[in-house]
Amino acid sequence: MNKEQYIADMKQRVFNANLALPKEDLIKLTWGNVSEVNRELGVIVIKPSGVSYDTMRVEDMVVTDLQGAPIKENSLNPSSDIVTHAVLYQNFEGVNAIVHTHSTNAVKWAQARRDIPAYGTTHADTFYGPVPCTRQLTQTEIERAYELETGNVIVETFRDRNIDPLACPAVIVYGHGPFVWGKNTEVAVQNSVVLDEVATMALGTEELKTNIDPIDKYLLDKHYYRKHGENAYYGQS
């Protein structure tokens, strides 16, 4: 397959994944984006900035380099979050697609400045431990390079807390919202659906009982590793 055809296929996958966000009730208006990277070709494909999902076309998907700069001068502007996506691709090996939304219940945790605790097995099936909330960006960081520093603070959070981004494929940015990823666009969207569901479940759990402990590690391990890793046995081979 030549480069042009591969990029065309990337555009179709990114387009389809972006259309899935409103269908899954993860976004309203234009509050979200999906991207895919191909490091060998040196390209990222992402949704254009501010374009309605009702009028968006496959050919509107924007191709950028690995730093997030559009490759074609006559293309639409890429999502304003492209630089954040680029930072994550540069630092998280094995991440090939990223979803950013302002999904309601995940944002509630971001605005509360709290990790989403791993209270049960639904959470443990996808996220190995709490979904982390980043620290607050400083005024200097925001004014200097907001989207770049958003990516940097996500990377910092995973590095400083020794979290494997493939074992916990999501983060909530302080006061902002979730970034979620996966090995491809389909998995990244699926992980975004799961994230908002477990955020909802955690909120309900805390309404029913205060001072609850996270799930026991042995149960967390069982549910996570039966779906992930070399000894996984969930689903069909």
User: What are the residue boundaries of the structural domains of the chain, listed by start?
Assistant: 3-225
pLDDT bin (cut points 50, 70, 90) of residue 237 is: low
Measure the CA–CA gap between 209 and 5, rounded to whole angstroms.
54
**Is there a catalytic annotation at residue 125?**
yes
Identify the active-site residue in 25, 65, 221, 234.
234
**Interval 119-167: pLDDT, tens:** 999 999 999 999 999 999 999 999 999 999 999 999 999 999 999 999 9
Cα angle 97, 154, 73; round to 5: 55
Catalytically annotated residue among 60, 125, 146, 225: 125
Backbone φ, ψ for residue 172 (5° rounding): -115, 130
Q: How many CB atoms lie within 10 A of CB 104?
A: 15
Rg (CA), the chain: 18
| CA-wise closest residue to 76 among 51, 54, 55 | 51
- Any catalytic annotation for residue 53? no
Q: Is the pTM of this model over 0.85?
A: yes
What class does CATH assign to 3-225?
alpha beta
Gap between the Cα atoms of 104 and 51, Å rounded:
21
Note the pLDDT tens digit of each residue in 98-112: 999 999 999 999 999
